[in-house]
Structure formats: structure tokens, C-alpha cells
Amino acid sequence: MDLSNENVIHVKKDGTEFLQFRKLLEYKDYINHAYSLGIDKNYRTAKVNKQQLEKSEYEKAIQDYKTLSSAIGSDYTHLVKTNQEHTDEVKVITKKINENEPDFNLEQYSKTDGMVTKNKDLMLATTNADCILLLFFDPVRKAIGNTHSGWKGTLQRISVNTVEKMKSEFGSNPEDIICCICPSIRKCHFEVDRDVKELFEDEFQDLDNLNEIIEEKTPNAKWNIDTVLINKTILEKAGLKSENIIDSGICSVCNSSLVHSFRVEKQDYGLCTALIELK
């Protein structure tokens, strides 16, 4: 299966598969980036409850990161990954903490779901299995961001927090920022009950397209929600140009043979990763 479309390229290199955004490849002299493919790969570095993985599992994850990093011309020791907890916290990353190994499972990155930097050789990594991952690049200020926005993060508008952090820390103009939306669960499969539906109605009542975002599935009292469209809409309201919000258009559930999906894999779900780095 080839997931290439007008916005992304499905790359197969030395047995490794990943997506790259055509828009970001226009700046390949400045940045490395990728979104992993393949459910035989698993980028989990700790258990859901933060306990250590079995040694063999952790070593396999490290090898998967090494392989993917090498495929895009980077060094896996540049990796910085937060301990995602569905927060709205975005941190500025200025340097590595571990000198010769990735910054994984560090207390300094607890309760953090977004990162921004304008320093080189810091490869920002997020992981998902249905949640939205967003890659940000400001080609004027030469700054990047990488943000995990599950439905709880979307309710907290963490994507907009990332833009605000780039503005305050780096002087970024939102009109210059490019935001790329990685594969995630889409409206076709993000089905919720009334309680979650009402959370979205309350938070996003300011959006003119709310009727398009939330669709009732009668007669079973369920609703489908388009969290990708929410992020596109609130990012535009934050000042990004619509043409600079680039969506992979890929549903993790519909493509669960190549993309990890919690809703498909259930309790034993694996994780994909999104990487971005300034050269």
C-alpha cells in the first residue's frame, strides 16, 4: 500500500517506511522530518503508567528510532521526547539533557505535550495511536515545533498554545508558520457519547462551522467529531494561512495495517512517531 497523496510522500528506504510532507521537503536544506509507518515498529519508551518497559521492548524501540533517524539523515542521540499526558503544556527546548543518548522518560518533560525550539540538532519527537500530531515550521525565524493533540489536547487548544509560544519566544509571525497534520483518527471513526460531545460544543461554540465539526449518528445517540477540522479552524483564527495548514488526510483507523490505532489494536496498541529537527 502506498499512502502518498498531494500533501505527503510515502518513502520506502532500506526496509524503513515513513511519510514526509511535500511542503516541508521544500525546506530540506533546513529541516529533517518524518512520520513513521509500519505496525511492526513501536516507538513506545515507557508503559502507559510510566513504568519501565521490559529491557527487550525498550531496546527494540531504541533500534526503531535509530533506524528511522538514520533514514532521514539524522542521529538518534539528538532525540527529545516528552512524557505526553494530554495536557496543554508546550515547552521551549534549548539543549539536550543526556549527552550521548536520547532524552527519553525524563522527569523534566513530564506533563508536557508540545515542544518548540530554534536550536539545531534537537530532534523533537511525539508519538500517537489515533491522536493528532502537528509539526510546525517557521521558515523566517527558523523555528520548529512538535505537538501531541489528542481530543483532550484539542479541547485545550494546545495547537494554538504552540503558535503562541513560537510568537512569544521566537518572534514568529503566525502568517509565516507552516503546520503539518500527521495521520490520526478522523471524523469517520471518532465516535463519542453525549458527555464528550457536549464538552466540544461548550468549548467551540465560537466556531461558525460547529455543525460541520459535530455530526449526530442517529438513532444510536452517538456523535462523530472532526478534531482535525477543529485544529485547522482554530489555527486559522490564530493567524495561520489556510494554505500553510497541510493535512496528510490519512485516517489511522482506515489505514491500521500501516498506522498504529488504539481503537483497532485496543490494550496492546503500539505507537507511531513524528520527528522534526533543524539541521
Residues near 43 by beta carbon (within 8 Å), at least 6 away in sequence: 36, 61, 64, 65, 125, 127, 270, 271, 272, 273
- Interhelix angle 227-237/158-170, rounded to 10 degrees, is 30
Give the Cα separation of 209 and 220 in Å (integer): 23
pLDDT given at position 180: 99
> How many CB atoms are located within 10 Å of the residue 192 CB?
17
Classify residue 224 as exposed, middle or buried by CB count within 10 Å of its CB (0-12, 13-18, 19+). Answer: middle
Per-residue pLDDT of the chain (279 residues; tens, 9 = 90+): 999 999 999 999 988 999 999 999 999 999 999 999 999 999 999 988 778 999 999 999 999 999 999 999 999 999 999 999 999 999 999 999 999 999 999 999 999 999 999 999 999 999 999 999 999 999 999 999 999 999 999 999 999 999 999 999 999 999 999 999 999 999 999 999 999 999 999 999 999 999 999 999 877 789 999 999 999 999 999 999 999 999 999 999 999 999 999 999 999 899 999 999 999
Residues near 73 by beta carbon (within 8 Å), at least 6 away in sequence: 32
pLDDT given at position 217: 83
Structural domains in the chain, CATH included, are 8-189+244-278 (3.60.140.10)
Give the Cα separation of 147 and 36 in Å (integer): 15
